[in-house]
Structure 1
Amino acid sequence: MAALVAAGGISGYATRRSMPSLVAGLGIAALFASLALVSAMAPRYARTHKVWPAGLMALTGALSAIYQGLKTREWLA
């Protein structure tokens, strides 16, 4: 999903020189990738309670998702 969204943003930029398409496409793609990381690692951490790698990866994904979400919102405003 993230790759398709990124490709759409790049395509919008390539065909129409639309900078908002590029920024939104790449920003949302990064957000999807971060959410995918959280959704994969958080259940594993909950099951095993091991900080490495599941806990740290879930935390990193969550922090990245928050950052990417805020940045994407800022860019779209």
Structure 2
Amino acid sequence: MIIIVTLITIFNTMTSLDKLTATDGTPPKPHPQPNDRRISSKNLLGPEGRVIIEHDGQHYLLRQTHAGKLILTK
């Protein structure tokens, strides 16, 4: 009985640690939440396919590549 309780405790601890860091030591990727605000990339980028984002006094360029990927540069 004690062995089973110990194994369950170890399993629960390992499972909670897996949620904190990935196997390579990097933090887990954020997961979208159902109530997160969503905006279409076409609406955000406009017909030009690019937009300047100001964040903490810094300017970033978000643009769409010819392959349809998004790139954010400072």
* Bigger relative CO (Cα 8 Å, ≥ 6 apart): 1
Q: TM-score, normalised by structure 2?
A: 0.31
Give the structure with the larger strand fraction.
2
Higher relative helix content: 1
Bigger Rg, which one: 2
TM-score normalised by L of structure 1: 0.30
